[in-house]
Amino acid sequence: MTQPVRIAVISGSLRKDSYNTRLARFVAGRIRGDGIEIDEISLAELDLPMMNEDLEKEKGHPDSVLNLKKRLIAADGVLYASPEYNGSLTGPLKNAIDWASRPRDDEKQLECFRGKVAGLLGASPGKLGGLRGIRDLRMILSGIGTHVVPDQFALSSAHEAFDEKGDIKDGNTAKMAIAVGESVVKTARALKNAG
């Protein structure tokens, strides 16, 4: 019997009307279905403090970090949508990864990442579509034991790409974005059922 698969969805942007959040929600909405649970994790709502080992030593993990870690540990795969800030991923997304990588006594090393499956999306008004942010995110996640699927998607001219309902207007572009999410589900399902 096929086990259900849980996919966490994280946008690296804190902006309310973020193109990356729209892209993440669009793909998540298309892969949602029987046996697939979606957990949208909002970095803006979590409002994580900056990673600081002194804070961690004095007070332990803040509640917002524990919330993030619990949800990442429960996920079989994660769909990341990363804006590109100055040629790399955003500070909030890197900060979330840094906090989630900090082990607690009752956790395995890198439990939020090791053996998980990740898919990478990016959106930008520019012509590269956030590609450089995706590149750096792939390097970071691969380095901490995450299986990053080969498929990735960068949405250029993102300010013109969505209709009023939040759907990607161009059908071929939409298919390429959805394919990343489908690859995450397929790989996560295969790994879960193999275990």
Domain boundaries, given as residue ranges, for the chain:
5-194
pTM: 0.94
In the predicted model, is pLDDT for residue 70 greater than 80?
A: yes
For 128-170, write each residue's pLDDT tens digit: 888 999 999 999 999 999 999 999 999 999 999 999 999 999 9
pLDDT above 90 as % of the chain: 88
Res. 195: pLDDT tops 70 = no
Per-residue DSSP letters for the chain?
Answer: -PPPEEEEEEES---TT-HHHHHHHHHHHHH-BTTEEEEEE-HHHH-PPPP-HHHHHHH-S-HHHHHHHHHHHH-SEEEEE---BTTB--HHHHHHHHHHTSPPTTS-TTTTTTT-EEEEEEE-SSSSTTHHHHHHHHHHHHHTT-EEEEEEEEESSGGGTB-TTS-BSSHHHHHHHHHHHHHHHHHHHHHHHH-
- What is the average pLDDT value for the chain, to the nearest integer? 95
> Which of 58-62, 109-113, 117-121, 174-178 is the least confident region?
58-62
Fold topology of 5-194? Rossmann fold (3.40.50)
pLDDT at 127: 87
